[in-house]
Structure 1
Amino acid sequence: MLDAHGLSELTATAELLAAELLTNAHRHTAQEYALRVLEVGGRLRVGVWDRDWRVPVGFEEDGRPVDLDAEGGRGLRLVRACSERRGVSVLRDLGVSRGGKLLWVDCGAVE
């Protein structure tokens, strides 16, 4: 998809960020979730929406030590390390947005 827009250099990073955010949504919500990829303000934005309004611990800087022997728990640290900016929109209204949250991360500059 990114090749068609001349953004092939961002493919690996965008795929990693999408995979980590989608995996987190899959593991921690029993409801539907969706991926969004778009250009915002000159950057490529990868976002994942799910119906759970709670923001996962570790999406923002959390200061917890890394357990190097654990099988999980490093995905959101990886997201923080590989993204330039990140944010969350909590959607509490059940109208058009269907509630939940949208976690988004920006990577690379779009020229």
Structure 2
Amino acid sequence: MPTPVPAPWEYTLYIPHDPRAVGICRRALRDILTSHHLPALVEPAELLASELLGNAIRHTKGPAALKLRRSGPTLRLGAWDTDPTPPGTKPQDDESDEGRGLHLVDAYADDWGWFQVNGTAGKYVWCELGAP
């Protein structure tokens, strides 16, 4: 008997430009994944969401948003911010801790990318995790 495909769902959490909002989103993310019976994704999703939202807060001046979407076996996390500038990474041999977030996203996510939103309305950086 084939395993039933779960119904898709989506949440969007809009946050102010406040570093405390990252922790609030992590707690909401944990509650959402637990309520959808996905406890195995809590830790990697919290790490990835923290990196994406931390970058949005650190490198922009406006509000941000975290979007979670489950479609089939895939969980997509995305962070929107008001700056249309492409996300950047620093070389791996740099001694600084700055700029390493996207290296973590690349290492832990199954896939990731970004796109500009409506020209100058900001950008959306996303990553995906396969759900168990």
Which range, TM-score by smaller chain? 0.7 to 0.9
Alignment partner, residue 16 of structure 1: 47
One-letter identity of the residue aligned with 1:46:
L
- Please tell me whether residue 34 in structure 1 is matched to residue 65 in structure 2: yes
How far residue 102 of structure 1 moved from its aligned partner, in angstroms, is 0.8
The structure whose residues are more often helix, as a share, is 2
In the aligned structure 2, how far is the partner of 1:65 from the partner of 1:13?
A: 21
Change beyond 3 A, Cα 1:76–1:92: same
How far residue 30 of structure 1 moved from its aligned partner, in angstroms, is 0.5
In the aligned structure 2, how far is the partner of 1:65 from the partner of 1:79?
A: 14
- Structure 1, gaps ≥5 residues long: none
Q: TM-score, normalised by structure 1?
A: 0.81
Backbone CA RMSD of aligned residues = 1.8
Deviations 1:64-107 (A, max 9, x none): 3332x31322111011101001121211357xxxx211110001
In the aligned structure 2, how far is the partner of 1:66 from the partner of 1:82?
A: 19
Secondary structure, counterpart of 1:31 in structure 2: coil
In the aligned structure 2, how far is the partner of 1:80 from the partner of 1:35?
A: 18
Alignment partner, residue 16 of structure 2: none
Percent same amino acid among aligned pairs? Answer: 41
List 4+ stretches of structure 1 deviating above 6 A: none
Higher mean alpha-carbon deviation, 32-41 vs 80-89, is at 32-41
- Structure 2, gaps ≥5 residues long: 1-31
2:122 to 89, 100, 108: 100
